[in-house]
Structure 1
Amino acid sequence: MTHWIAVDWGTTALRITRMDGIRPVDTRQNDKGMNALSHDDFERVFIDLAGDWIDGPTDVLACGMVGARQGWAEAAYRTVPCAAAGGELTHAPTKDPRLNVSIVPGVRQLKPHPDVMRGEETQIAGILARQPDFDGVACLPGTHTKWAHLSAGEIVSFRTVMTGELFADLTGRSVLRHSLAGDGWDEEAFVAAVSDALSRPEILTARLFELRAADLLHGQDAATGRAILSGLLIGAELAATKPWWLGRDAIITGSSKTTHAYATALKSQGLSPTLLPADEMTLAGLAALRDA
């Protein structure tokens, strides 16, 4: 069967792609992420979105939070070091006999510190399907950014940083929201803030309120404030993840906006990262995992 459905089911969104072998044919998405669903909702929500794609026996391969304990079916974690494309898929129970649904296992790390990922391992499988000999670090920016050391086709170790969630909370809920509205950007201010936080990460929390004070006392532009906040958070992240990226080749896989910020930050530290689109890597990874 060459036609199948690739599913990227996260915490806040569902994205499905009709595949012909390794070639994407059509994509649909909605906001029915795991957080919005109960355990019994997944099959119905999937069928509602897939609709006419299910015209007979249909193979479905899914990754992401759909495999969490609160998802369609819990997919056990594999432990690093492990191959990016491998591991036993979990079969999800269905009422519709046309569906054959499998879920990609997540990846866990027990030491030197506990960590887990769901979904990013599939993007990593996609990266290595494109560049099988890659040896270096993959940066996967998002709500919870992952830094993964890849070597010999394996995920050797990884580190998760909550930079995206912190940025959203600080700009949307904290007192800083009054001074950081809008979507503007100041590249020079961003790079300076990255350097400052990377060299002195201990000043991060002290620097945060300066953004509010600079607005009140000097009328600092919101675009500059947002860029400084992003630079401070990413700079502190680079300080925390230096063992993963320092002296290594780097690939960044994320949205265009986040990829640009991380690429700029790494370039300021002398790296020349390769940029790969996250959606394409997810599909490439699902295709590789299906073949495996």
Structure 2
Amino acid sequence: MDNVAFIGVDWGTTSFRLWALEADGTVAAFTNGPFGMANLKRSDYGVVLEDSMAKIGIAHDVPVVICGMAGAAQGWCEAPYLPTPTPLYALGSDATKVRGTTRDVRILPGVKQLSPANVMRGEETQIAGLLHHHPDFSGTVCLPGTHTKWVRVENQSILDFDTCMTGEQFGLFSSKSVLSHSMLVDGWSDAAFEDAVNVALEEPETVPRLLFGIRANMLVSEQTAAEARARLSGLLIGQELSATRGFWENRNVTLIGASELSKLYSQALGQIGIAARALNTDEMTIAGLVSAYKIQKERHLCLGAVDVHLI
């Protein structure tokens, strides 16, 4: 581990991912676990971090850069939000130093939008990773997930963004609602998904009543569980696209998210003639962490050497 420059961590609500990184972003080691914010007390964070690094043999003088929910008010150490428009270089220069640790640990800020009110933590680092690889990028970024983000990026800055709870809605409907009885078996139908996307885009106001129709069609028709699951997804994603038209209409879209979910968004956008390219989430997160680390060094915020707190 002699070539490790720093540790990069993506600390989410339910997950924890840690990379030992060389200065150019090469991954020397990786570990993860179910150590998300939802499962931790504030006093647990330092223990989880040090135990995870000991597991892969990281020395005590290696600094750490963290993005995600560890910086939330309910997390380890609050890293205040930066307001839009937000230049992405500010993530590194405005990182918050965690007090009371023997190791140099810094948490990247999230981004907030005042009107209409909105916030993100973690996605901004993935966008910084996109700009790290493509500094001239300008356009729309969609980050599908539990809370999907639609972000307008220009001049290496986040201009504005919106959030849709489509992933959480799908999870609740498919596991907690009456619709769950129609999805006891896994499976998928592209035809059902595409039809549902078209219906939701053309008549988004009909989605609330069409949702119960998914269950009814299982009882009185020959709809399969695969068709039910795909139809639910298509209705929700189609409704989301209808609500976010200003972000994607007459534009190409860059997707950063889990591969299977990004594939569905790409498929839905393709139905309406919108070109979409999908980028790997891990690669963008790592690149964003590397970018923040380098900016800190360039601005003489030398990790492990100087105790400077800009917030």
- For 2:196 and 2:284, the matched residues in 1 are separated by 30
- For residue 144 of structure 2, what is the aligned residue in structure 1? 141
Output aligned runs, 1:92-131, within 5 Å: 92-95=98-101, 97=102, 99-111=103-115, 113-131=116-134
Please tell me whether the aligned partners of residues 8 and 282 of structure 1 are also in contact (alpha carbons under 8 angstroms).
yes
Output aligned runs, 1:76-225, within 5 Å: 76-87=80-91, 88-95=94-101, 97=102, 99-111=103-115, 113-225=116-228
- For residue 77 of structure 2, what is the aligned residue in structure 1? 73
Which of the pair is proportionally richer in strand?
1
Structure 2 residue 58 is matched with structure 1 residue 54: yes
- For 1:159 and 1:271, the matched residues in 2 are separated by 19
Q: Output the TM-score relative to the length of structure 2.
A: 0.90
The secondary structure found in structure 2 opposite 1:150 is strand
Please tell me whether the aligned partners of residues 18 and 25 of structure 1 are also in contact (alpha carbons under 8 angstroms).
yes
- For residue 247 of structure 1, what is the aligned residue in structure 2? 250
> For 1:145-171, what per-residue CA distance to the aligned partner results, in whole angstroms no more than 9, with x for missing partners?
000001111111100000000000001
CA deviation after TM superposition for structure 1 residue 2, in Å: 5.0
**Higher deviation after alignment, 57-66 or 18-27:** 18-27
Count of residue pairs brought into register by the alignment: 289
Please tell me whether the aligned partners of residues 5 and 22 of structure 2 are also in contact (alpha carbons under 8 angstroms).
yes
- For 1:79 and 1:53, the matched residues in 2 are separated by 38
Identity rate of aligned residues, in percent?
42
The secondary structure found in structure 2 opposite 1:146 is strand
Please tell me whether the aligned partners of residues 10 and 17 of structure 2 are also in contact (alpha carbons under 8 angstroms).
yes
Please tell me whether the aligned partners of residues 4 and 28 of structure 2 are also in contact (alpha carbons under 8 angstroms).
no
Please tell me whether the aligned partners of residues 136 and 245 of structure 1 are also in contact (alpha carbons under 8 angstroms).
no
CA deviation after TM superposition for structure 1 residue 82, in Å: 1.2
- For 1:94 and 1:229, the matched residues in 2 are separated by 48
The secondary structure found in structure 2 opposite 1:53 is coil
> For 1:117-147, what per-residue CA distance to the aligned partner results, in whole angstroms no more than 9, with x for missing partners?
0000000001111111111110001100000
> For 1:30-86, what per-residue CA distance to the aligned partner results, in whole angstroms no more than 9, with x for missing partners?
001000011111001111222143323011000000100011100000011111232
- For 1:256 and 1:94, the matched residues in 2 are separated by 38
- For residue 13 of structure 2, what is the aligned residue in structure 1? 11
- For residue 271 of structure 1, what is the aligned residue in structure 2? 274
Q: Which amino acid aligns with 1:106?
A: G
Query: Which ranges in structure 1 are unaligned for 5 or more consecutive residues?
Result: none
- For residue 226 of structure 1, what is the aligned residue in structure 2? 229
Query: Which ranges in structure 2 are unaligned for 5 or more consecutive residues?
Result: 296-311
CA deviation after TM superposition for structure 1 residue 92, in Å: 1.0
CA deviation after TM superposition for structure 1 residue 245, in Å: 1.0
- For 1:93 and 1:218, the matched residues in 2 are separated by 61
Please tell me whether the aligned partners of residues 98 and 105 of structure 2 are also in contact (alpha carbons under 8 angstroms).
yes
Runs of at least 4 residues off by over 4 Å: none
CA deviation after TM superposition for structure 1 residue 15, in Å: 0.4
Cα-Cα RMSD: 1.2
Please tell me whether the aligned partners of residues 4 and 20 of structure 2 are also in contact (alpha carbons under 8 angstroms).
no
